[in-house]
Amino acid sequence: MITLRKSSERGHADHGWLNSFHSFSFADYRDPAHMGVGNLRVINEDRIAPGTGFGTHGHRDMEILSYVLDGALAHTDSMGNGQAGGANSGVIVPGDLQRMSAGTGVMHSESNHARDRSTHFLQIWLLPNQRGIAPSYEQKHFDAAAKRGRLALVASPDGRDGSVTIHAAASLRAGLFNGDERAQLALDATRLAYVHLVGGQLRVNDRQLSAGDALTLAGETTLVLEGGQDAEVLVFDLEP
């Protein structure tokens, strides 16, 4: 079974400094029919105005991924990342994937320090497969060449193929498709696949998608992506 969710059906909140579209129920957007897909709980498409950002706040027992599309996102946390002497700069740019495992609890902030450019990014939350782990952080860059015309593995439970390691029964692939570029992926029919089109146009299993559209696939064995027009896509393999 394949279910299409159009971009226009997402929740929306414009706070002035933050313009956000919610694929699933989040904050003041409540829709019992869209609480998540499997263990995928949040996909927020956020645009942060210049010189603003999320102040320090806390999370626990959640796998949080940040995928920057344009601009830069500055991250600081209670583990020392983004702070003087910290292990990681905490600055995320297009091509980067950041993973923060909140575990027993972490405080962090996210900011756009640019004076004349907004930051456009996806905030993704996955339910962990184990509660109460120690908080941790990881950040890797996946250049356009690695994703061109293929679905590159960018996050997985075992960190294989150079992907970010997530503490969740899920994986994430990212791809860029244009013109004749085409990819096919075998699916486990006992699990769920979720396709989120980040930008452009793309045909997925004969469904035409535009930026912000998404497909949920249940009981399917094959995923086919083709007919891209400057398309950027994320594909999740999820626990039902």
- What CA–CA distance (Å, rounded) separates 82 from 88? 6
User: Above pLDDT 90, what percent of the chain?
Assistant: 95
Residue-wise pLDDT tens digits, 87-100? 777 899 999 999 99
Q: Kindly report which listed range (30-44, 73-87, 116-130, 184-198) carries the lowest average pLDDT score.
A: 73-87
- What CA–CA distance (Å, rounded) separates 126 from 168? 7
pLDDT tier for residue 229 given thresholds of 50, 70 and 90: very high
**Is-contact 19 46, C-beta < 8 A?**
yes
pLDDT score of 205:
98
Average pLDDT over residues 128-138: 96
**Domains defined along the chain, listed by start:** 2-238 (2.60.120.10)
Residue at 153: amino acid letter: L
**Is-contact 202 177, C-beta < 8 A?**
yes
Q: Is 24 exposed, middle or buried (0-12, 13-18, 19+ CB in 10 A)?
A: buried
Stated pTM of the model: 0.96
Asked if pLDDT for residue 212 goes beyond 80, the answer is yes
* CB-based contacts of 89, cutoff 8 Å, min separation 6: 81, 82
**Is-contact 100 124, C-beta < 8 A?**
no
Asked if pLDDT for residue 86 goes beyond 80, the answer is no
pLDDT score of 81:
87
The C-alpha R_g of the chain, in whole angstroms, comes to: 17
Looking at every residue in the chain, the average pLDDT score rounds to: 96
Asked if pLDDT for residue 106 goes beyond 80, the answer is yes
